[in-house]
A and B are shown apart, each in its own frame.
Chain A
């Protein structure tokens, strides 16, 4: 394939050379996934074979096969599926609620600049405060049920989305609003037809951050209290010195986070289809 293209370009000329170079570079690009896979295989093999070789005890670093055995046992005896779904559903529910609240507050403050000015120092303070540290407080308030971890997740997701939406509302081009006003457009229409679409790239960026934070929120909520969820399994496994259980729970938490992040990027690609991609150039005609 690459050879054909080189043959078509004028031989010996500098552009031909640079094109050949470009092709070698592209060939490298297709090799990247393969290299990534190789790295993964090497790391997994090292995990399986190196710990016994160096005499690392199983409760420090278990072998890969121990994770598998432990996983099967958790599935059979410890109701792993229930824990998994409890965590996944709370992460998703918290993400959705936190996003909705964050977006609503973001738009509301964007529409009411005087309120935003009054509240901005507190928003900043809350944004900086480590939200997960509130989790023990929520247990005191709500007890040992699903609420503390849900509220922690909502709180963690809320801020990046609020801040991102608010940022878009702040930098909104006033001329666009004037244009709509000149067309006699109502305030409600200006909001839905200009402000909301204009803020979409920011909202999607906030959702991406929120999707990864949701898993952290739910995990911390489960770590500090409760009897279900992967976070609970981590703390339980720690108490039993059952290191493979801790590892398995971490892996499953990561899977939940990756799936949520992936769903957001799929939605983002659909919503922001009108943005030029880096590879695409405007067509001149």
Chain B
């Protein structure tokens, strides 16, 4: 794809952190990191734990700045949190004192919107994420999968054109995970969102994305890029049934040298 349609560009990025104690050596989380995400593309990043995946997320979300290199979204360099970027973590981070509907409204409250407008947009997202019937419940009254749907609705309510997902399914049980992956895939494909998914679940990466980036051990950089080239991006369950899917998972497994590793 041509460079002009790149929604996200990460160029030669390094991020180092000062040592814990005075005089301790610097810690390099990522080094010489370069990758692009095209418009409406779904890209996953996989890698061993501690490879700097979360650092990547914080850099793209504008919560952290690179020590070297540039991160740009739609051609402009990221210098702080952007209202075009939504992000979602493994923890749903719903506010327990707010109802589902009020939680979805949360992100909109940073903006100049009338109460009625906020409510209308939140309801629209709840419908899109198929949880509208729980609008008036409190987070403790709904299940883990439903809570993650609410978190997605909250992420989408600000109308982002780019979303960052940091292991959003990893705290769920196997069945809920499959259902939610499908539901997310449909919602994301339906709204043509550009998505960066950070995950340690190789099957999830294959099932959901257009392209997979494999990161190395710390300091993290991209060591391999895999074009998934499978149909049915909006139906991960269908996708996993194809022989190429399991082939890819096997390939990733070897790429990460999982069979040699005993530490986690």
Contacts and interface: CB of A to CB of B under 8 A. Distances in A.
Interface of A: 173, 175-176, 178-186, 189, 193-194, 197, 200, 274-276, 282-285
B48 interface: no
Contacts of B253: none
List 4 tightest A-B contacts by C-beta distance, closest first.
A185-B110, A276-B140, A183-B107, A197-B97
A179 B85 CA distance: 12
A180 to B, nearest CB: 8
Contacts of B87: 179, 182
B143 A284 contact: yes
Interface string B84-97: 01010101010111
7 contacts: A182-B61, A184-B81, A184-B110, A186-B110, A193-B109, A274-B140, A285-B143
Given A175-B93, A285-B146, A182 B85 contact: yes
A274 to B, nearest CB: 5
Contacts of B96: 274-275
B158 interface: yes
Contact of A189 (B89, B91, B109, B143): B109
B84 to A, nearest CB: 11
Contacts of A275: 96, 140
A243 B89 CA distance: 66
Interface of B: 61-63, 80-83, 85, 87, 89, 91, 93, 95-98, 106-107, 109-110, 134, 138, 140-143, 146, 158
Residue of B82, B97, B142 ringed by the most chain A CB atoms within 10 A = B97
Contact of A274 (B89, B97, B142, B158): B97
Nearest to A272: B97
B138 A285 contact: no
Contacts of B80: 184
B261 to A, nearest CB: 28
**Residue with the greatest number of chain B CB neighbours at <10 A, chosen from A183, A276, A282:** A183
Instruction: Choose among A182, A274, A275, A282 the residue with the greatest number of B CB atoms under 10 Å from its CB.
Output: A182
Nearest to A200: B97
A197 B103 CA distance: 13
A258 B141 CA distance: 33
A183 B97 contact: no
B93 A182 contact: no
Contacts of B106: 183, 193
A176 B61 CA distance: 14
B109 A185 contact: yes
B63 A283 contact: no
Given A183-B106, A193-B109, A274-B96, 16 more contacts: A173-B93, A175-B89, A179-B87, A181-B63, A181-B81, A182-B61, A183-B110, A184-B81, A184-B110, A185-B109, A189-B110, A200-B97, A274-B97, A275-B96, A276-B140, A285-B146
A184 B110 CA distance: 6
Contacts of A197: 95, 97
Contacts of B91: 175
A282 B140 contact: yes
B117 to A, nearest CB: 16
Contacts of B81: 181-184
Given A175-B89, A182-B87, A283 B142 contact: yes
A183 B146 contact: no
A182 B138 contact: no
A283 B141 contact: yes
A185 B87 CA distance: 14
B79 to A, nearest CB: 12
Residue among A179, A193, A282, A285 with the highest chain B CB neighbour number at 10 A? A179
Contact of A282 (B89, B107, B142, B158): B142
Contact of B95 (A178, A183, A186, A194): A194
Interface centre among B62, B141, B142 (most CB of A within 10 A): B141
A133 B93 CA distance: 45
B180 to A, nearest CB: 14
Contacts of B93: 173, 175-176, 179
Given A182-B63, A285-B143, A274 B138 contact: yes
